[in-house]
Amino acid sequence: GQNIDQPTEMTATEGAIVQINCTYQTSGFNGLFWYQQHAGEAPTFLSYNVLDGLEEKGRFSSFLSRSKGYSYLLLKELQMKDSASYLCATKDSNYQLIWGAGTKLIIKP
Amino acid sequence: DAGVTQSPTHLIKTRGQQVTLRCSPKSGHDTVSWYQQALGQGPQFIFQYYEEEERQRGNFPDRFSGHQFPNYSSELNVNALLLGDSALYLCASSSDWDKSSYNEQFFGPGTRLTVL
């Protein structure tokens, strides 16, 4: 079956660093996406990984290990506006996006 | 450049009724995907439309149907509504979705459907 696991909720402090993990099992693999979703809003694209390694984009970085079926999203210099849900999604062999349930990130002052 | 638009924003229906949700893709995009997102969950893929045909379908009953028009806009229809159909319905557009691994999907603001 196809499955994506993420922690349900995480808490971090403003200015700190947080790592959100994602493990996946899908039929085929055509890349992994991270999206941010604020409450009541649509998901917005953060990053895409298809090859192993780290992709850095400003305060956000995403890492992929295909052999381990593992990815993480790293958020640095946390700001209050980073409080949101972070969704991990993989594109399977049919190019269909399979989504995790999301990780709710709570930032405290 | 307008992004993905959806209408209506909110909708309240009663069990057994039918509903139609609408989506206009981002300019230049030809593929529209529909998702259902229950509270606290990730989006669940309903189906995808390309060239006015349903190209892929997720694990949703036939009560869920759709359409894509020549201008690439799309509709999602749900018949015989159940309480469990209450959710945020998201439309996402993209182009050349299956021609390369990387194709970002752009999401609309969603339609919040409440079934009483």
Contacts with A4 from chain B: Cβ below 8 Å: 42
Per-residue pLDDT, B1: 62
Residue A16 has pLDDT above 90, yes or no: yes
List of chain A residues whose C-beta atoms are within 8 Å of the C-beta of residue B36: none
The answer to whether residue B100 scores a pLDDT higher than 60 is no
Q: Does B106 touch chain A (CB under 8 A)?
A: yes
Mean pLDDT of B23-32: 93
Cis peptide before B109 (omega within 30 of 0): no
Q: What's the rounded mean pLDDT across residues A86-94? A: 90
pLDDT of A104 > 90? The answer is: yes
Contacts of A96 in chain B (CB under 8 A): 45, 48, 56, 58
Q: How far B52 CA lies from chain A's nearest CA (Å)?
A: 18
Tell me the average pLDDT across B12-28: 96
Which residue type sits at A53? G
pLDDT in tens, A35-85: 999 988 889 999 999 999 999 989 999 999 999 999 999 999 999 999 999
Confidence of residue B83 (pLDDT cuts 50, 70, 90): very high
Band of residue A96 on the pLDDT scale cut at 50, 70, 90: confident
pLDDT at B87 over 90: yes
B58 — contact with chain A (CB < 8 Å)?
yes
pLDDT at B61 > cutoff 90: yes
Cβ contact (<8 Å) for B101 and A50? yes
- Beta strands, E only, B1-116: 5-7, 10-13, 19-24, 31-37, 44-50, 53-57, 64-68, 74-78, 87-94, 106-107, 111-115
Question: Cβ separation of A91 and B56 shorter than 8 Å?
Answer: no
pLDDT: which is higher, A97 or A62: A62
For residue B99, pLDDT over 80 is answered with: no
> Which tokens belong to A23?
């493990």
Residue A17 has pLDDT above 80, yes or no: yes
Mean pLDDT of A2-15: 95
- pLDDT-derived band at B101 (thresholds 50, 70, 90) equals low
What's the average model confidence in pLDDT over B20-48?
Answer: 93
What is the DSSP pairing of strand A18-25 with strand A3-5?
Answer: antiparallel
